Amino acid sequence: MKPKDIWTYAFSAIKLRKLRAGLTTLSVVIGIAAIVALLSITQGLQAAIATQLQKGFATDTLIVSAGGGIGVAESGFSLLVNDTETISQIENVTAALAIIQRVGYIRTTDGKARRVTIVGVDFEAYKAIYSSTFVAENGEIPSNPENTAVVVGKQVSEPWGNGTLFCSVGDTVEIIWTNTTARPLRNESYIGSVAAVLQEVGGFSIGGPSDTSIYIPITQAQAFFGTGKCEMIIVKLKNDDKATIESTAKTIRNAFGGQVAVTSATAVLNIISSVFSTIELFLAGIAAISLLVAGIGIMNIMIVSLMERTREIGILKALGMKNRTVLLIFLTEAAIMGLMGALIGVGTGWGLAELVVRIFSANGGFGGGFRQGGQTAAAGAVRITPLLTPTVLLGAIAFGLAVSLVFALYPAWRASRLKPVDALRYE
């Protein structure tokens, strides 16, 4: 029998049982749609976050903080601002920069206040490390700043995103923090002047500039907060080779007797991407289960169809149809349903992903924060676009087709093995 005739025959059998074939196809549609939607959303999210991270990260940096690192409670050890001198001596280190930060408020002359992270850094050195993100949109970041100079993040200047400004270049602002070491607690403040507003940085950053922070000179921070300690030291390396990163991190740890945690921006990126891979796999696994259910549905339908058509198979065999042609007809029927289901499923899944993203975006977007060495390192919402890679697209279609075929194999094989005389006698 010619392939075209096999196809026509299989199609005519499906057409005869439209509702049943439709429902079977629907189960494949649901399975494939779930896989495509989940994968395209996670991949889109991953891509969006990776982009944001790469912007906010300098891959050739290390972040040194006191204690055991991310999420670990502080030990008695404290990192000092002048520890940068020790670190600068270490091989492969081109610059070391201390960061002091506190949560506090910025208040304008008309009395409005906003909660911000106050970050004390050496402007010149910070600019050198984060040359793409510590950039002024308005005003100029002073190289040799006066103590009153303040650089504010984009969202501090324009928190509502509608052009209304909270503060801008040249404004006089009051910087306030609550001294929790003093008894009783007291608010400390000084008057500063906005020297620059940063460009928008975007979602995440670790150590690097953030949209919700304000920046003051490190010397002013030391005096204002009354401390010689710092929260972290950003270390710029000669290059971002893995070997350089690892050996330098080890040397720094040893220099402080193991009392510091050294995090590489690249390592954090890798951790995040591996976490995402795991999530992706997990979600795809769940979706695959629904496809498995669809496969069992196909098998069920094919077995019912086989019983209903036993006599027909007997006729075909009496007319000289070969076993493998009978097998092919049944597999073709499953393939038609599987392929249609997969194609519709990819479309539906894509639409679903768009819908979900839109709903989430309307509710404020995928945002969140995580802490690194005591710094809240996240800001605005990450805009995500569902990402349907060719791999996911073709993979989903192939998977839908494969599941249909695998589950049709047994009924098709049984059909092909029917003895003509028994099949013809079947009522």
Partner 1 sequence: MVVVETVNLRKVYLLGKVPVEALRGVNLKVEEGEFLSILGPSGSGKSTLLNLIGALDKPTDGKVLIDGVDVSTLNEDRLADLRRRIGFVFQFFNLIPRFTALENVELPMAIAGLGKAERRKRAIELLETVGLADRINHKPTELSGGEQQRVAIARALANNPRFLLMDEPTGNVDSKNADEIMRLVKRLNEEKGVTVIMVTHDQRLAKEADRTVHMLDGLIVNEVVNKP
Interface residues with partner 1 (CB under 8 A)?
Answer: 1-2, 5, 9, 12-13, 15-16, 311-312, 314-323, 325, 419-421, 424
State both tokens at 326.
């009978």
Measured from the CB atom, the residue of 213 and 416 that comes closer to partner 1 is 416
Measured from the CB atom, the residue of 18 and 186 that comes closer to partner 1 is 18
What residue has token string 């989903």?
396
CB of 338 to partner 1, least distance (A): 22
Measured from the CB atom, the residue of 125 and 315 that comes closer to partner 1 is 315
Measured from the CB atom, the residue of 98 and 313 that comes closer to partner 1 is 313
CB of 301 to partner 1, least distance (A): 17
CB of 323 to partner 1, least distance (A): 6
Measured from the CB atom, the residue of 267 and 424 that comes closer to partner 1 is 424
Residue 49 CB neighbours (<10 A): 20
Q: What is the 3-state secondary structure (H, E, C) of the chain?
A: CCHHHHHHHHHHHHHHCHHHHHHHHHHHHHHHHHHHHHHHHHHHHHHHHHHHHHHHCCCCEEEEEECCCCCCCCCCCCEECCHHHHHHCCCCEEEEEEEEEEEEEEEECCCCEEEEEEEEECHHHHHHHCCCCCCEEEECCCCCCCCCEEEECHHHHCCCCCCCCCCCCCCEEEEEEEECCCCCCEEEEEEEEEEEEECCCCCECCCCCCCCEEEEEHHHHHHHHCCCEECEEEEEECCCCHHHHHHHHHHHHHHCCCCEEEEEHHHHHHHHHHHHHHHHHHHHHHHHHHHHHHHHHHHHHHHHHHHHCHHHHHHHHHCCCCHHHHHHHHHHHHHHHHHHHHHHHHHHHHHHHHHHHHHHHHCCCECCCCEECCEECECCCECCCCCCCHHHHHHHHHHHHHHHHHHHHHHHHHHHHCCHHHHHHCC
Measured from the CB atom, the residue of 112 and 322 that comes closer to partner 1 is 322
CB of 302 to partner 1, least distance (A): 18
Residue 165 has, within 13 A of its CA and on its CB side, a CA count of 13
Measured from the CB atom, the residue of 91 and 308 that comes closer to partner 1 is 308
Structural contact between residues 138 and 195, judged by C-beta atoms closer than 8 angstroms: no
What residue has token string 């010149």?
124
CB of 393 to partner 1, least distance (A): 35
Among 165, 219, 216, 166, which Cα is nearest to 191's?
216
Query: For the chain, how many residues are written?
Result: 427
CB of 425 to partner 1, least distance (A): 9
**Cα distances (angstroms) measured from residue 317 to each of 3, 304, 320, 326, 380:** 17, 19, 5, 8, 69
CB of 333 to partner 1, least distance (A): 14
CB of 335 to partner 1, least distance (A): 19
